[in-house]
Amino acid sequence: MKVIRTTNHQEMSKIAANIILDRIKSSSHITLGLATGGTPIQTYAYLAEDYLENQTSYQHVVTFNLDEYIGLPKDDPNSYHYYMHQHLFSKVNIPRDQTFIPNGLTEDLAAECETYEQKIQQYNGIDLQLLGLGKNGHIGFNEPGTPFDQHTHIVSLTRSTIQANARFFGTVEEVPKQAITMGIGSIMESKEILLLVSGKEKNQALNKLLHGRIDEQFPASILNNHENVTIIADEDAI
């Protein structure tokens, strides 16, 4: 794993945005895997800024988001559909039918997981996967104990994740208890992975990822087995 240490969150985000832009500009078709949460917001802001200044085109870009809560309507401000529209999709010229996010409102969730995974395959897999890191080592919503070979599936969120994400909701009770997430198997099949880690509260998790053993109880540890991972971490996190 290649580790880039930055002095602050802004620099981390700028480097991440530049890597993403480089891959978009140098390929005729690209499939991006996208993350949500607090960590990549500034990265998306830099992509939006670049679009205003340079009109980098997203016409040939396809995106798959890592996850979505079960039970939130797409226009709920806490849904990841809303998040992606707000932070990226409404700011660049990506055709809306080239953006995929799991549907957490469908009646047949199992079929949704299967279709989502098939769709990723139809686009020949993910070229560049952006990831954040949960304090408990989760990636996407793959909580500790998730089998490393699992693909898109339904998860029950752990108490620590519900509490961590309560900051975006009014109360802990309002945080959905379940989500659909790409699995660790899906993530590991990506050709390239970019993991962003920011802030003191991620320090322990990053340390475990860099120096601990590979263990299903710490999902991100599997990234040590991927041959093309870049971690960009700010000074507080590393």
Cα separation of 25 and 32, whole Å?
A: 13
107 is catalytic: no
Cα separation of 233 and 221, whole Å?
A: 16
Letters for 56-75 (x = contact with ligand GLP by CB under 6 A, - = none) are ----------xx--------
- Contact between 104 and ligand GLP per CB under 6 A: no
Cα separation of 196 and 83, whole Å?
A: 18
User: Taking the complex as a whole, how short is the minimal distance between the CB of residue 12 and ligand GLP, in angstroms?
Assistant: 12
Residue type, 131: L
65 is catalytic: no
The structure tokens listed for 74 are 């797409």
Of 66 and 206, nearer to ligand GLP (C-beta) is 66
Q: Which of 102, 134, 137, 183 contacts ligand GLP by CB under 6 A?
A: 134
- Contact between 39 and ligand GLP per CB under 6 A: yes
- Contact of 184 with 222, CB cutoff 8 Å: yes
Residue type, 160: S
User: Taking the complex as a whole, how short is the minimal distance between the CB of residue 215 and ligand GLP, in angstroms?
Assistant: 19
Residues in 148-207 that interact with ligand GLP by CB under 6 A: 161, 165
Number of H helices, E strands in the chain: 7, 10
138 is catalytic: yes
Of 67 and 112, nearer to ligand GLP (C-beta) is 67
Cα separation of 105 and 157, whole Å?
A: 17
Q: Which residues bind ligand GLP (CB under 6 A)?
A: 35-39, 66-67, 132, 134, 140-141, 161, 165
